[in-house]
Amino acid sequence: MTNVAVVGAQWGDEGKGKIVDWLSERADVVVRFQGGHNAGHTLVIDGKVYKLSLLPSGIVREGKQSAIGSGVVLDPWALLDEIERIAEQGVMVGPDRLKIAETVPLILPVHRDLDRLREEAAGKAKIGTTGRGIGPAYEDKVGRRAIRLGDLADDATLSDRIDRLLAHHNPLRKGLGEPPLDGAALKAELLEVAGKILPFAAPVWRELDRARKEGKRILFEGAQGALLDIDYGTYPYVTSSNTMAGAAACGSGVGPGAVGYVLGIVKAYTTRVGSGPFPTELDDAVGQRLGERGHEFGTVTGRKRRCGWFDACLVRQTATTSGINGVALTKLDVLDGFEELKICTGYMVDGVEYDHLPAAAALQAKAEPIYETMPGWSESTEGARRWADLPAAAVKYVKRVEELIETPVALLSTSPEREDTILVTDPFAG
């Protein structure tokens, strides 16, 4: 058996929640390795809907250990709210079930303020952040002025960290016409939350090493999608962390060889939330239909998602950069009833054909998709659990997707229900 890393292979919202939940039943430990509470996973279990942002998806399953690695940025107040909310649904989360890396950087009110102020000041140039302080928190991490979870345990260290943090942020706030922050007030807020959050602190890297030596299976859970990666995404319309599978190792504290099988989650069409290039976007009745049938609204933001045809060129690109071994193809049932379907196989930019999306923003904006048309199907695929339950045209569509992205389909999802999944290859079997 091997460990498994799950990453989104598009712009996020690919249905990772269901797939991670499906896999978590087979795992012993589930660890989040990057992102913050700008991520959103929706799980549907026995008709009950769970909406998670920071908590690993495995938290809803009894007997599973969950962890949050140091590659995450953590809003302690948001986490406690999420723990309280999920407790109302009967899921109790304590330090025995959830471990948080001592070195995880904290998202503070100053980060949320700066996120909002910058977006307001940017006007038409805004990049569409969720306003939750994710980017500014990562900036402070690499700027070596972050307050980390473990800092809350020592009064003198916390005071030093706050002084260094505000030496950077107060001049920024002045430039944006905002009053300076009171360090004493911030410290009081942090000390108030410290007693509630510190019991979860642990050397997660050691916990994972121990689990590996005991032969336990680890599921590494990513957030957002590969096309939002800070290095390889559609920059600057990206998130502030590395969303690729390579981040699973450093973001959780294991060596790269411990990650094992990489499963990419891919929607059977394409969606995107917020601003940025989207070559296959459909501003017509077809795009509207995809959005309505797929219930395309963000789990965290509630924003309507932009919809378009499946972009095999982009997924092939992300499969390469993330080292994806197999994909889980989700929401196939949303395509039921279309007379014909289109798949993007490349782009034309100023008369030149590209087999990848160029990195230059000016070229991305001019990229016109090259489409291949396939027949659709009138039968329903919803709830199918065997290949034999699928229409022949649907099988052909899936097989063609495999060919174009040069990656096999390991799982096929046909509804939000976790059991409505066709297993082709068990990722934990390697």
Catalytic residues: 13, 41
- Please, are residues 430 and 350 in contact by the beta-carbon 8 Å criterion? no
**DSSP string of 248-266, one letter each residue:** HHHHHT--GGGT-EEEEEE
Six token digits for residue 397: 């569509």
Residues 6+ apart with CB under 8 A from 200: 95, 98, 99, 100
Residues 6+ apart with CB under 8 A from 419: 385
Angle between helices 312-322 and 392-405 (to 10 degrees): 50
- Coil, strand or helix at 297: strand
Task: Please give the C-alpha separations between residue 343 and each of 101, 229, 279, 286, 295, in angstroms, as whole numbers.
Answer: 42, 23, 12, 14, 21
Give 123: exposed, middle or buried? Use CB within 10 Å, 0-12, 13-18, 19+: exposed
Nearest Cα neighbor of 225 from 419, 408, 35, 424 is: 35
CA dist., res. 1 & res. 424, Å (int): 16
- Coil, strand or helix at 3: coil
Amino acid at 385: R
- Exposure string for 275-288, b = 16+ CB within 10 A, e = fewer: bbbbbbbbeeebbe
CA dist., res. 69 & res. 100, Å (int): 6
CA dist., res. 49 & res. 61, Å (int): 14
User: How many other C-beta atoms can be found within 10 angstroms of the C-beta atom of residue 362?
Assistant: 9
| Pure H helices in 143-220 | 155-175, 183-197, 204-213
- Please, are residues 349 and 317 in contact by the beta-carbon 8 Å criterion? no
